[in-house]
Amino acid sequence: MEILKALFRNTRLLILDEPTSMLTPQEIREFFDVLRMLRAEGHSIILIAHNLAEILEISDRVTILRDGKRVCTLNTAQTNERELSRHMIGRDFLEAEHARTDTDAGQEVLNVRQLCLQGPERTPLLDQINLVVHSGEILGIAGIDGNGQAELAEILVGIRRQSAGEIFLAGKRLDHLSIRRRSELGLAYIPSDRHQDGLVMDADVAANVHLRDYYRPPFAKAHLLLFAEMQKSARRMAEDYQVKTPSVFTKARVLSGGNQQKLILARELSAAASLTIACQPTRGLDIGATEYLRGQLLNRRNGGKSVLLISTDLGEILALSDRIAVLHGGRIMGVVENTKSLSVETLGLMMGGSTLEEASACR
């Protein structure tokens, strides 16, 4: 509709900012056909995107920006993902093949039963959600943004209260417990908005990395904070998780987006959590930081821990998940094993509102 409105005004130049983020794979193909038609009719298009495969598929030339500056402009037909990645992060980048080890995925860690959430005027935001996550498993939640992903994550960590249903972590019921108590029982959370929900931007690195445990020994004694211990621990964690910071006294807002996310990882993954909920964990990160974060999540899985990965990036879901649940309109359309035989077409239909049975019948 936005493109039609622009064409109606005889627009010759279209500027599209992440236009595929709300589309299914089938809709992306149709959208690219429209762009090719507009190009053939003489329209100019500037496409701003982070998905390199899409850039290579649809563009004629590609310009790389880094730190607000133009790095280079290349003819798309004469470049590839590796070269683009090198220009984007400023160094050679070798995509890691993160190994999947065999794990005992039998123990139930998270069990969500008949979870419901009602919005304004009693409209269902989440409807009869049933999920199980096992130890040594990454369960991916796929879907177009705005279909209940944020609400699901916030209910699981305790930010919101559900209208109905039950949540169990390692057999213990969570749904009436506080955020802190859930954290103490073994739940870690990587939020989608690191500025709003993940960090205290005007606090320093040491304070942010200890938001989970500042009130417990060895960082507190008789209601007093032991800052020396916090700073010592923060230096070690920053080194372990490759957080590039001038010092542990540096404010979080000064760090790059990638280092802010690594700071959250250091806080959440250093805890002895049995379940990590990662909501859009690589959004806004460069390729290097994205691969580092994905590797950390897979390390958790390979170590026998559980991960609930909520992402609108279908490539990310397919790369990391053992099983995939598709969320549409606040409902789970189906849960599938992530095997080589899994069709992206099937996932795309489910993301568009088809049940697993309906999507399978269309193949």
Listed residue (199, 214, 296) closest to 256, CA to CA: 199
Listed residue (236, 245, 283, 292) closest to 265, CA to CA: 292
Out of 55-69, 80-94, 215-229, 272-286, least confident range: 80-94
pLDDT at 116 over 70: yes
Indicate if 131 and 164 belong to the same structural domain: yes
Out of 131-145, 149-163, 280-294, least confident range: 280-294
Percent of the chain residues past pLDDT 70, beyond the cut? 94
Q: Give yes or no for a contact between 333 and 327, defined as CB atoms under 8 angstroms apart.
A: yes
pLDDT at 100 over 60: no
Indicate if 181 and 276 belong to the same structural domain: yes
Position 204 in a domain:
no
Indicate if 336 and 299 belong to the same structural domain: yes
Position 229 in a domain:
no
Position 267 in a domain:
no
Indicate if 277 and 356 belong to the same structural domain: yes
Indicate if 16 and 52 belong to the same structural domain: yes
In tens, the pLDDT along 4-26 reads 777 777 788 889 888 887 788 88
Other beta carbons less than 10 A from residue 206's beta carbon: 23
Q: What is the band of 123 on the pLDDT scale with cuts at 50, 70, 90?
A: confident
In tens, the pLDDT along 21-75 reads 778 888 888 999 999 999 999 989 999 887 888 899 999 999 998 767 899 999 9
Question: Which of the 8 DSSP states describes residue 45?
Answer: E
- Long-range contacts of 347-350, Cβ-Cβ distance < 8 Å, separation of 24 or more: 347/25, 347/142, 347/314, 348/24, 348/25, 348/26, 348/27, 349/24, 349/26, 350/142, 350/326
pLDDT at 226 over 60: yes
Percent of the chain residues past pLDDT 90, beyond the cut? 60
Q: Could you please report the per-residue DSSP string of 9-22?
A: TT-SEEEEESTTTT
Q: What is the band of 212 on the pLDDT scale with cuts at 50, 70, 90?
A: very high
Q: What is the band of 87 on the pLDDT scale with cuts at 50, 70, 90?
A: confident
Indicate if 35 and 169 belong to the same structural domain: no
Q: Roughly what angle, to the nearest 10 degrees, separates helices 344-351 and 25-40?
A: 90
CATH of the domain at 32: 3.40.50.300
pLDDT at site 94: 45
Position 59 in a domain:
yes
Indicate if 65 and 130 belong to the same structural domain: no
Domains identified in the chain, total number: 2
Enumerate residues 6+ apart whose C-beta is below 8 A from 116.
Answer: 124, 126, 127, 128, 129, 162, 163, 164, 165
pLDDT at 168 over 80: yes
Kind plus residue range of the DSSP H or E element containing 299: helix 287-302
pLDDT at site 65: 86
Indicate if 161 and 296 belong to the same structural domain: yes
Overall pTM > 0.85: no
Position 215 in a domain:
no
Indicate if 6 and 136 belong to the same structural domain: no
Position 231 in a domain:
no
Position 211 in a domain:
no
pLDDT at 239 over 80: yes
Indicate if 180 and 119 belong to the same structural domain: yes
**Six-digit token string for 314:** 């279908």
Q: Which of 61, 89, 117 is the last residue of a domain?
A: 89
In tens, the pLDDT along 323-348 reads 999 999 999 999 999 998 888 888 98
State the chain's mean pLDDT as an integer.
89
| Rounded Cα gap, residues 349 and 351, in angstroms | 5
pLDDT at site 288: 78
Position 206 in a domain:
no
Q: Which of 89, 119, 137 is the last residue of a domain?
A: 89
Q: Could you please report the per-residue DSSP string of 121-182?
A: GG-EEEEEEEEEEETTEEEEEE--TTSSHHHHHHHHHTSS--SEEEEEETTEE-TTS-HHHH
Q: What is the band of 103 on the pLDDT scale with cuts at 50, 70, 90?
A: low
Indicate if 164 and 310 belong to the same structural domain: yes
pLDDT at site 10: 77
Indicate if 147 and 7 belong to the same structural domain: no
Q: What is the band of 156 on the pLDDT scale with cuts at 50, 70, 90?
A: very high
pLDDT at 99 over 90: no
Query: Looking up tokens 């409902």, which residue turns up?
Result: 331
pLDDT at 297 over 80: yes
pLDDT at 188 over 60: yes
Domain that holds residue 175: 108-186+272-361
